[in-house]
Structure 1
Amino acid sequence: MPLDVHAAKVLEMIRLSGRPPYETLAPAEARQFSRNARAVLAPEPPEMGAVRDIKIGEGGAIPARLYRPLGSAPNAALPALIYFHGGGWVIGDLDTHDVVCRQIANGSGAAVVSVDYRLAPEHKFPAAVEDAIAATAWIAAHGATLGIDTARLAVGGDSAGGNLAAVVALDARDRNGPKLIQQVLVYPATESTMSHPSHERFAEGLLLTRPTMKWFLGHYLRGAEDLADWRVSPLRATSLADLPPALVLTAGYDPLCDEGEDYAARLAAAGVPVTRVRVEGMIHGFLTMGKLIPATNEAVAMIAAALKIAFAR
């Protein structure tokens, strides 16, 4: 299938804007470009029942943002999605993914807790993993103070955030952590050796290129030895059995497409209920581009619908 015409227009806009490739920038500069893109690519933030910034984790060390859907009763204990934003573990924050979290909350009728985990290179692996695990455990233990039903928790994220969500689910299984009833993995990074064929098919010319992916990993990892750690590459986990049901969404024109689909196939082979969806013609990062790409809003609605079903089980 050809590249989606709306995605092609986004790529052309980026080219005409003169935005330098991330791998030519310092991390702080790249973060600012990422924040600036929000005004161009994201829809207007929808009205919510409530939105507030909070501190979670031991000692309130981890910033987060709590969303309650429009029309929800203020005192109702809602199911919740714990969300980890994308950005290669280097860029992205609560604001870059604010609209997506709002849309998912309103569409699913659930709360969303967006977690602002520590970023590299200031905080290299495993800092982001530690924050994601700690945030999930803290929310499960303190849900009552947040108006959350801790018997109905899900984890999710896009790209690097999808990686973190997958790792949190594995860690919760292995260390008797919070019981999770769903994982939502949107074009997740699951094998960081960049060895799947899609890394060659889409090495250049798209939003996420091979040099950009190397730049992200170079900032995130302490050294090449980290590549073998399943917390970097969850495809390397010994077993994917007994994990929560998963929605795995990939993009047809994405270097991470094959590793995401490989992870979904391994989940299914291990007996985990999996819904696999490839958004044909779409580029990496499209989840935050709903102002210009109609397929984005369809994907977000699909995520919200899957969560609504999972939380009703």
Structure 2
Amino acid sequence: MIDNGVKPRFSGNSSIFSLSEKRAKYNAIFKQDAEEIRTRVMGEVSEEQIFIPVRDGSKVRALVYRPESAQPEDRLPLVVLIHGGGFILGNAEMETPICVEAVRAYDCVAVSLEYRLSPEVKFPIAYEDCWDALLWMIANMSTLRADPTRGFIFGGTSAGSHISIPLAHRARDEGLSPPITGLYHSVPPALPPQALTERYKPFYRSREALKDGMTLTSKSTDLYDTAVDPDFTSPLWNPLLWPTGHKDLPRTFFQICGADLLRDEALIYERELRLGNGVKTRTVVYEGLPHIFWYNYPTHSASAKFAQDAIEGLGWLLSRRLSCSR
């Protein structure tokens, strides 16, 4: 596609536009994508915009998707996904495709959750926003028309997955009830280089080998770090080093890109879960493909496979088979 002149929708060069220009450009693309999906599934999947209160009086936006065929008294499994964007970009529409297809395939309620972006807010506000939203959802399941005891999936993409990993650990440690039953991690960061330990150094090569890769580069991650201003010693930022370990986490599905500088920390984390802690995992690796390739090149054949894999992975997390009629 590149040889034939197909341009990426997003650039790894973070200096081309100002942040406000990048946000406007990206938000417009994802909202147009979402509008096309809404038109295609009209009468089959409904969408509701809600605003969820968080601890400091602010509200975060979320999009809630449900099957149109559901009755008001129905209580359905819940899928909650958090969008990516390096903590500085992104909107709920980014996860619309997976949310809509999950609803179509499994008759669930799917929520695409936003959080406040940096540099307007700093670390750890994004994590607090998502944790508070998670608690609000649990307290308002009747409003959502969901029943998490039938399945409660939590996760996200890139920065969204980064947020969901430590929150899943916190949910386990604090006995969140009903408990999360499955975790979805798409191209997740899990251990930044500032916190790399001797134990993982032999396996941690992609950050250097792919530092000048497509879409995500070491320069762009430096920009994100500057905007977010994280505590590099915090387990929120380094969930692979979570102090109470990784045992008793729910089953976890990974989608990992082979030409992504985040590749190795995702693989290390999956290995730690599966071999070190007995967590059931399922993983798909897209060899030779860069970070979030499906956003950048949506017409590539691998992008269709990514979408299919994501829905089948959510079905595995929900212990449900994909509908043959879909």
> Does the CA-based 8 Å contact 1:43-1:291 persist in structure 2?
no
Q: Which amino acid aligns with 2:306?
A: A
Distance 2:122 2:5 in 1: 30
Q: Which amino acid aligns with 1:253?
A: A
Q: How many residues align?
A: 302
Asked if 1:34 corresponds to 2:32, the answer is no
Q: Tell me the CA shift for residue 20 of structure 1.
A: 7.9
Identify unmatched segments of 5+ residues in structure 2: 197-203, 321-326
Alignment partner, residue 133 of structure 2: 135
Give CA deviations for 1:182-211 in whole Å, capped at 9, x if unaligned: 000000011122763111121114111110
Alignment partner, residue 262 of structure 2: 256
> Does the CA-based 8 Å contact 2:152-2:181 persist in structure 1?
yes
Alignment partner, residue 306 of structure 2: 299
Identify unmatched segments of 5+ residues in structure 1: 1-5
Asked if 1:227 corresponds to 2:232, the answer is yes
Give CA deviations for 1:267-287 in whole Å, capped at 9, x if unaligned: 111111111221112211134
Q: Tell me the CA shift for residue 139 of structure 1.
A: 0.9
Asked if 1:284 corresponds to 2:284, the answer is no
Q: Secondary structure at the match of 2:94?
A: coil
Q: Which moved more, 1:107-116 or 1:211-220?
A: 107-116
Alignment partner, residue 63 of structure 2: 65
Asked if 1:204 corresponds to 2:212, the answer is yes
Q: Secondary structure at the match of 2:147?
A: strand
> Does the CA-based 8 Å contact 1:192-1:233 persist in structure 2?
yes
TM-score under structure 1 normalisation?
A: 0.87
Distance 2:46 2:113 in 1: 17
Distance 2:4 2:94 in 1: 17
1:141–1:100 Cα change, 3 Å: same
Give CA deviations for 1:145-183 in whole Å, capped at 9, x if unaligned: 111112121101010011111122111011222400000
Greater relative contact order structure (CA < 8 Å, 6+ sep): 1
Q: Which moved more, 1:30-39 or 1:245-254?
A: 30-39
Distance 2:272 2:68 in 1: 37
RMSD: 2.7
Q: 1:1-313 maps to which residues of 2 (within 5 A)?
A: 6=1, 8=2, 13-14=7-8, 21-23=13-15, 25-38=17-30, 44-45=36-37, 46-47=40-41, 48-58=44-54, 61-69=59-67, 71-151=69-149, 152-178=151-177, 179-193=179-193, 196-222=204-230, 226-238=231-243, 239-268=245-274, 269-289=276-296, 291-312=298-319
Q: Which moved more, 1:17-26 or 1:182-191?
A: 17-26
Alignment partner, residue 3 of structure 1: none
> Does the CA-based 8 Å contact 2:10-2:296 persist in structure 1?
no
Alignment partner, residue 201 of structure 2: none
% of aligned pairs identical?
Answer: 25
Q: Which amino acid aligns with 2:315?
A: K
Give CA deviations for 1:118-157 in whole Å, capped at 9, x if unaligned: 1111111100000111111111121111111121211010
Q: Which amino acid aligns with 2:30?
A: R
Post-superposition, which runs of at least 4 consecutive aligned residues in structure 1 deviate over 6 A? 39-43
1:205–1:177 Cα change, 3 Å: same
TM-score under structure 2 normalisation?
A: 0.84
